[in-house]
Amino acid sequence: MKIFSKDFLRGAIDRAIKTAAQVLLAVLLTSAGSDLVPTAGILEIDWLGGLSITALAVVISLLTSISDPESTAQSARSLPSH
């Protein structure tokens, strides 16, 4: 299995995008209303901190894809084609 095949890249990108969305949403929702962010206004959110945690999660997601390239490529084959 080639790591940089079309199916692998498609599966890895799909997994990374889903991970980024889930982590950023979780970070923003858990920080809203806490001592770090006393109000839930969009300007009061610690965007840099949230994006930093999200970037780390995306790196971990990509490493997970690399650790199991066959499964990553197989998951891409089940995605709808454009």
pLDDT confidence of residue 60: 97
What per-residue confidence (pLDDT) applies to 13? Answer: 95
Q: What pLDDT sits at residue 51?
A: 94
CB 22 within 8 A of CB 58: no
**Count of residues making up the chain:** 82
What's the angle, vertex CA 64, arms to CA 77 and CA 55, rounded to 5? 105
Sequence spans of domains, the chain: 20-77
Q: Write out the chain's pLDDT in tens, 82 residues.
A: 678 899 999 999 999 999 999 999 998 887 766 655 455 577 777 889 999 999 999 999 999 999 999 999 998 888 887 6
